[in-house]
Amino acid sequence: MDKAIFVLNGPNLNLLGTREPEIYGTDTLADIETACQAVAERLGVPLIFRQTNHEGELVDWLQEARTAAAGVLLNAGALTHTSVALYDAIKAMAIPVLEIHLSNPLRREAFRHQSYIGMAAHGTIAGFGLRSYVLGMEALAPLIQVRS
């Protein structure tokens, strides 16, 4: 497959491994990228893995993905609960977008129960730590018609 899977990560995910390990675990963003790369290689699809602390950059990447990607995994971090701009960007996409979370937002503070990303995404995988990303990659495969 020529088109890549984009794995896009939002604010504070660069701090994984040290930020609230009791919630997010001890895996780093580099560990997650390594796990995603292994699945991408098995599926025979290129991987683009990115992280930013800026909402507008995530919007730009989603717009880029409209033509450059086969599908997207998006962990928007706290922007999940606040960003209508990300919601609108996802709604403008014809490719599948899966919402990913390391923790289960529904088991956390009430303000995390609202997900603008989830309202626009094809599906959501949450609560499995690093494995949420692996499950997301595997769930995306049949939606983008790659070998599994």
The C-alpha atoms of residue 73 and residue 108 are separated, in whole angstroms, by: 22
25 contacts 104 by C-beta, under 8 angstroms: no
Catalytic residue among 24, 87, 116, 133: 24
Q: What letter does residue 128 receive in the DSSP assignment?
A: S
Please give the structure tokens belonging to residue 83. Answer: 């960003």
131 annotated to a ligand binding site: no
Catalytic residue among 87, 101, 116, 133: 101
24 catalytic, yes or no? Answer: yes
81 annotated to a ligand binding site: yes
54 catalytic, yes or no? Answer: no
16 annotated to a ligand binding site: no
The C-alpha atoms of residue 136 and residue 124 are separated, in whole angstroms, by: 8
37 contacts 65 by C-beta, under 8 angstroms: no
118 residue type, one letter: G
112 annotated to a ligand binding site: yes
97 contacts 136 by C-beta, under 8 angstroms: no
4 half-sphere exposure, CB direction, 13 A CA radius: 15
98 annotated to a ligand binding site: no
102 annotated to a ligand binding site: yes
Residue positions forming the annotated binding site for substrate:
75, 81, 88, 102-103, 112
Query: What are the residue numbers of the active site?
Result: 24, 101
Residue positions forming the annotated binding site:
75, 81, 88, 102-103, 112
